[in-house]
Structure formats: structure tokens, C-alpha cells
Structure 1
Amino acid sequence: MSGRKSRREIDKAIKHLMAYTGPHDEWAGRWDQVQEDLLGPLAEKLDVSFEALEDFFYAGPYSHMVIGFSFEEYATVLWDNEPHNLIEAYLAHRGWREGPAGRRYLQALGASELRFWEVTAVKPGAYADIRPYGTRDEPIRVKERAATESLHQWDGLVARVLYTGATPTFSGAMLPLPPGLAARIQGVLSAIPAETRQLMQQLVEQGEIERLPDDLDDIIRHAQESELAGVAFLIWAMDVYLQTTGPSPNLRNMDDEPIAPTSVRFPLQGSRKAVLRALDASPVLHREAEAPSWTWFPEPYQDIDVGERVSVLGHIALDDNALELDTNSTVRAERGTALLAALLGDLVGSPLTVHENMALMEDCGDMPMPAADIPAEVQAAITAQLTNHYRKTLDEPIPMLEGLSPRQCAADPTLHNEVISWLKHLENTSDRGPDASYDFSWIWDELNLERQ
């Protein structure tokens, strides 16, 4: 059977299933209950009316995801200890009307389990390699065309994997999650075992049960499985709603200046050696081992005590033709421009300032410039600049690492999970932007961490 004919049979079977309410309408109303179970806790958390959330999620750009996710829950859950779910009831009653591909798909969907995965690799338009989240199990390769276009390495993924042929596929609904949200879901699920054991122990102490159940581990596993859909949907939907309806974040640096990544480029007009001498002579510029580059501090470098937390105002790099200052605010760019003009005078020409438009970057989303459109020499320069930036970052305090540097965390085995999560976040974020081709493997090697 051709792939197109199979797809038609599957779409037809899903359409029939969605319209099915049972010979005595015993399934009528249950679809509404599932939607209420998913959106009700969200309405309470956000203090938003249920109707407003219905309008947002069922009539907006996320409607296909929410409808698909909630319908698959509705179609696969067992209600009140009934022996069959909706799919099994439909196939027993009207399965004869479906083609073989449609029946196979519904059977696989009915037997599937919603699982929490981690994406370890993606080939957009072809497949995704996934493994159970929080494990180092061998990944499985899932064939998928459309969904893989929006998946990225180290994403979390709440989805069903179906086995209808030689190659596993995803069902029609899934919740992709960036690493930060995935970690929140894992945190909630990881608390369930201790909470369940505590509850069981209380029941023993209160005389409700004689002793802890022999199948306590099975009870805990079932509790985690049953909570996954509600927990994942709540965290995913809350993030989507707040990101879409909330005000843009007002990001500020340590000097309370608005974050606005800014580069200032000075063309060289005088002797390169004279520029080197002038920069090395400045007490607030510290020359890095990766010469010729300098870090700009708010006070003389020699006066900074070991362990003192100071703001890094910017980075300066010198190449054969120009001197470039990189800062994270326009205020710092202006101060740095004045500093370099005073230090260098006629050794450099008039500066060119470039401001990164963060709002525009957000609007562009996952639409990077095709690599083929970037000249090789420009790509090489970008890669070199990124490497220089990340090399400095390894020794700088990182908020995500509680103010420690990646190198400090890598040196402490008890902090390896934290620095590995930071690295995955770095790779995942890069994969979503215009620098998706950047290879971070050298950082894993530099920190002597095993790539997971």
C-alpha cells in the first residue's frame, strides 16, 4: 500500500473515532471532562477564566497541539476501571469499516503509553533520536517528517511512540519542551516516589492499612505515569500562555542597564604594535592568554581580590585590520568607545557601532539565514568569535550555575549534573538560532565531561 493511501486511511479512521460516542452515547460528555481536567488547573494557576483559556488554546495557533493532545488522552484512558478505552470500544463496534492501515494505527494508538523523552539528535524532516528523560539509555530512532522540523537536540518531549511497522513513529500529538521546562517536569515527577511512600507510611501509622504494599514500586510507577499528562500540559501551557500574553522581559545587566548586545569596530590606522602597547598599558584591560584580546573591568585588574565578584564590562579583540569591542549595553559601548578613543587616538579610525535588535531576533524565531548564504570567510570569523566568547565564559560566573563558573563545576563531581544541564541548554539554544552549525564538542572535552 502506498504511503499516501495509508495516510488517507489513518486520517479517515481518526475522523470516525472523533465522532464516535458509543452505541448508547456512553462516551458523550467525556471529551468535555478531559478538557476541563487539563485547562481547569491552568485557569486556577493563572487566575484566568476557563472560557478565556478555551479561546486562547482552541482558536489560536496552538489549537492543533492542544486538541490533539487532549483527544489522545481521551481516546486512550480507561474510565472508572472500565475494561476498554475509547479506541478499543470503537474497533470492537465499528472497526470493520476501516482500512487495514487505519485499523493498525488505531490499535497502536490504543495500546500506546504517554512517555517523557529527551531528544538526543535530530535530522529535520527525517527522524529524531530519543530516550527516556533522565536516563542514559540507548536512544531509539523515530521516523518523523513534520514534527522534527521544530525539534532540537536536548529538548524534552512528551509523546507517544507507535509501532505500526518496521520503524517506530510518533502519534499525532506531542508537547516539545526546551530544557528548562523539561527539568521542571522532571522535578515534579521525581518528587512523586517520596510523596507516595510518605502517604503510605501515614496510612500504616493511622491503621488504615496493616503494612506497606508489596507492590509499592508498581504503585509509584503508576502514579508517575498517571500524573505525566496533567503535569506536562500544565507546565507547557502556562509557559506558552505567559510567553504569548505577558510583557516582554526587561533584561538588565549588573549595572541596571538595559541589555542590548552592542559591537563597536575601529579600523586600524596606525601601527599594530603601538595599539598593543597602548591596550596593555591600561590598568582596566586585562590581556587574555588567547592574545590579542582583553577583558575590560570597572576597576584596575590588579586591585581585584581573588573571589571578588565584579562586572565584566566588555571584551576587546584585535585582528589584522580592526579592533572590536563587544558589550551588552549601549551605555557600556559608549563608555568603551570613549576609553579606547582616549587610549588610541589616531591609531584607529572612526568607529562603526552595531546594535543587535533583540526584539527582531525574537520575531525571527527559528528562521536562521541559510548556511549557504553566508560566505565561508564570514562563517569562519563568526565561529572564531563564538569560540573566543565561549572560552571566556568557562571561567566566568554563570547565574544558572549559582554564580559558579563552568570550570569550577566541572572540577567538582557533585556539580557535574548542573554543568551538563548548562551545556545542554547552551547547545539547545544555539540549535534554535542562526549559529546552529556551531560545534560545542570542544567544550565537553575542555571540561573533561562525558558527552551524554
Structure 2
Amino acid sequence: MRNDISNLLTFIGKDSIWRERLHDVVAEHLMPALTEFEINDDDMSDILGEPWPGVLWGCGFEDFLGRHYGKDNIVDLYLKRRGWNETSPNRDYFTALRDTPVSLYEITNVKPGASMVLKDLLGGREAITVVEKSATQSLNKWDKIVVRVIADGDQHIISGALLAFSPDAVEILFDGLRHTLGLDESAVIALSKEQLHKCAPIFTSAWLFDTLPRAMYPQQQTFLNSDGDEVMFHDLRFQLAPRVLQKDIRERLKDIKNLIPDGARYWNWVAPIRKRTTNEAEGLMLDTQIDGKTILGTLELKGKALLIGVNSSNRAAKIEALVTKATGDLLKTPLTTIRTVEQMMEEEHPDDYEEDDLPPEIAQQIAHEYMDNHYRETLDTPVPALGNKTPRKAVKSAAGRAQVVEWLKQIENRSAKRDDSTIGEYDFGWMWQELGLQRDP
């Protein structure tokens, strides 16, 4: 079997010295995080689930194959004593693992089920095409991964231990490398082959310091409206006072600014679209727009009641005050029902609609038009990741251009990971072009 390590593991397991050395190297990769979060190996396995315990052990194992103890190295010893019993591809693979350090790579192109192009972000190597089937099924362009890239004849492959790094994990890694190497915060990190070999445990630790707390303390998705308020649906029901007619209420509602009639009994409560200046990446924005305005809520006269729907407590308080002032004693004190986003989703019934009511191509067109409008607005909105500068202003400096490139990569990468294909297939190329940036290396 190609790249079969079973005989090598058996060889190590029969020698107490080498077995203990392997255990110690794996511990170097895991113990900083286990100690920090006060958990043990079994806890980690339960928290992360499969396949991560095996992958993390593999990170330590691959590092161990490159370690030298004086003049001794386990790969050299094994091939000397048992190499005759291994296939030529296996001998070459063990030797390559021994000599190849781990590094951080950025995926600049991916062909699912076939190959991917990797850019070495630490070792200074040129972009290289890697033949890979399984991993490319779940990886996307601009993903960052930690792995060993191994020469295999006239092509390249990756080792078995692969860790996908989030932007936060990358920052933790860079901080760890700067601390270990005594570099300033602004220093560009470029490591030699020897340095990469010595720093291997830092890569695993960085991944764990990012992944473990998110797995232990998962955060729920935050939904915001354009005012920056957390979305909480409020339904207000104003009962009409005795002998009050709908026409009486309609006449009074004319005094409220920003109420746009949509028929005889329905109004949209609107406001000019505001440029968001808060952490837009921290929450998913839920708001509807119409004719260049944001819909803050809806009002409907139905029977002997005025029904109002808004998506935050602040908006509920504002519209209640406006309506009460305009209508006086024509309406009774409202009854209010409050629901979370999750409760709203649970209340939806599949029988209320048919999936085929909206053709996929129309759904995609609507989604892409929304994203066009959203991101065109974002180009002129201060972004926290860019030092609260707008993307258009940030690209005017060299440092800002680098930040914008990373920002674009992140939003494009996040979009590609969405299960919804209408969003996952969105083309961000126009944003790169409009900002005057090179999208592909």
C-alpha cells in the first residue's frame, strides 16, 4: 500500500526509547493548549470529535520523523534495519517526511478532486501545484492550511496531517513565531527550513488555541438590523377604540413622517439607508430595502386593529410613541409579542410554501443583486478590519492595499463556504477590479 506507515509504527512501538521519544514530541504539540484550557487528551477528543485526535497526533508524528537525537534519526534507523521490507515509494515517502518541514500555505486556486495551487507564506517557496483528491473537496480558494508539501517524482503531494487555519489562528501563529524568534511585531516572518523544523509544535498549538475555545464555548450567530440593534421581532397590536373606524386611523397616520402607503390599509415605515460604521462582520444584517430606503417596520389595518411589525425593541418603542402621539385616544394601549430569530424560524411551516415557487435562477439573481448592492455600499463604509477606513480610502496606501487584499480574500472565502449555492457562487471579481487590485497571483 502506498505511504503505508504501519510497519514503521510497529518498529517504533517495539523500542521503548523511540516510543517514549515519539510520545514526548506529540506532547510538545498538545500540552500548551491542554494546560491552558485545563483539559486532558480524552477531554480534547470529546470536545473536537473525529478526525481531529488522529490528525493532531499525526502533526506530532510527522515532526518526530524529522527529529535527530545526536546522530540518530528514526527514519534512518528504520530504513537501515527494515528498509528492505518496504516498497520503494514508501522509502521515498519516509525520507521526504523526514526532510520536509511544515509550513503555512495559502490556496490560490483549487480544482475539487484533482489539485490545488499553494503559496508558501513562511518558507519563501514559489507557488506550487499539489495533486490531491480528498482534501480539495472541502477546501476553497484563499483558505490557509498548515501541512507538509512533499516532492513525489515529478509532482507534489501533501502529507497526512493537514490543519485548516482561520484568520484568528494565523494571528496566533504569527504571534507565537515572533515571540519564539524574537521578532518585532511589524517584522515580516520568513523562516529557514531549519527554523520551520524547530517551530513545528507552534503550528499545532496555534490551531488548538483557536479551535478549542470555539468548540468549548460556541457562539451563536448574531443578527443585527441596520441600526446595529440585535434582531428581536416585535408585533404590536393596537385595538381600535369603540366607534373608531379604519378611515379615522388612516387620516391620523398621515401625520407620521416616513410612512409610505402601500395600498389602502398597509404602510411601510422607512428611513434613509445609513452607512454602517460598527463591526458588520460580527453579525448578519437583517433588513429590507425598497427604493433606496430601509424598511424599519410595517403597519396594517386589519379589522378592528392596527398591526405593526418591527425587528428590534428600539424600533418598537419609537413606532409606538409615534403612533400613540398621532392617534391619541383612537387606539388602546398595544399588546406586544416578542420573538427571537430562532423562534421565527421554528414557526415557519413547510406546507406554507413550495420550494419550486421560485426558480433557482431567479433566486440566484435576487441574491446576487442584493449582494451587489450590499458590497457596493460597503466599499464606501468604514470597515473595522481596515482601521475604520473605507476600502476605497484604504487602497490609497501600500499598507492599506495589503489590508484590503486580505479583507477581500476573507469575505470571498467565507462566501464560498456557505451551503447556499446562490451565495457560494457569487463572483467578487468586480470588487477587486473596482479597487484596482490584482485578484489572482
TM norm structure 2: 0.68
CA shift for structure 1 position 234: 1.1
Secondary structure at the residue paired with 1:450?
Answer: coil
Equivalent residue runs for 1:41-440 within 5 Å: 41-46=32-37, 48-53=38-43, 55-56=45-46, 60-79=50-69, 81-84=70-73, 86-133=74-121, 138-190=126-178, 193-195=181-183, 221=192, 224-249=195-220, 251=222, 257-258=229-230, 282=258, 295-297=272-274, 314=287, 316-318=289-291, 325=295, 330-331=311-312, 375-433=360-418, 434=420, 435-440=423-428
CA shift for structure 1 position 393: 0.9
Secondary structure at the residue paired with 2:211?
Answer: helix
Tell me, yes or no, if the aligned pair for 2:48 and 2:212 is still in contact at 8 Å: no
Tell me, yes or no, if the aligned pair for 2:277 and 2:381 is still in contact at 8 Å: no
Larger Rg: 2
- Cα distance in structure 2, aligned partners of 1:231 and 1:379: 43
Tell me, yes or no, if the aligned pair for 1:189 and 1:224 is still in contact at 8 Å: no
- Cα distance in structure 1, aligned partners of 2:343 and 2:384: 20
Structure 1, unaligned runs of 5 or more: 1-7, 197-216, 263-277, 285-292, 302-306, 343-353, 361-372
Tell me, yes or no, if the aligned pair for 1:125 and 1:149 is still in contact at 8 Å: yes
CA shift for structure 1 position 417: 1.8
Letter in 2 for 1:240: T
Tell me, yes or no, if the aligned pair for 1:119 and 1:152 is still in contact at 8 Å: yes
Letter in 2 for 1:27: W
CA RMSD of aligned residues (A): 4.3
CA shift for structure 1 position 43: 2.1
CA shift for structure 1 position 25: 4.2
Give the equivalent residue in structure 2 for 1:3: none
Q: Percent identity?
A: 24
Secondary structure at the residue paired with 1:102?
Answer: helix
Secondary structure at the residue paired with 1:397?
Answer: coil
Give the equivalent residue in structure 1 for 2:22: 31
Give the equivalent residue in structure 1 for 2:265: none
Secondary structure at the residue paired with 1:172?
Answer: coil
- Cα distance in structure 2, aligned partners of 1:21 and 1:175: 25
Give the equivalent residue in structure 2 for 1:265: none
Secondary structure at the residue paired with 2:160?
Answer: strand
CA shift for structure 1 position 114: 1.3
- Cα distance in structure 1, aligned partners of 2:32 and 2:154: 39
Residue 88 and residue 309 in structure 1: after superposition, are their counterparts in 2 closer, same or farther (change >3 A)? Answer: closer
Residue 70 and residue 135 in structure 1: after superposition, are their counterparts in 2 closer, same or farther (change >3 A)? Answer: closer
Letter in 2 for 1:69: C
Tell me, yes or no, if the aligned pair for 1:161 and 1:171 is still in contact at 8 Å: yes
- Cα distance in structure 2, aligned partners of 1:444 and 1:358: 39
TM norm structure 1: 0.67
CA shift for structure 1 position 427: 1.0
Tell me, yes or no, if the aligned pair for 1:118 and 1:133 is still in contact at 8 Å: yes
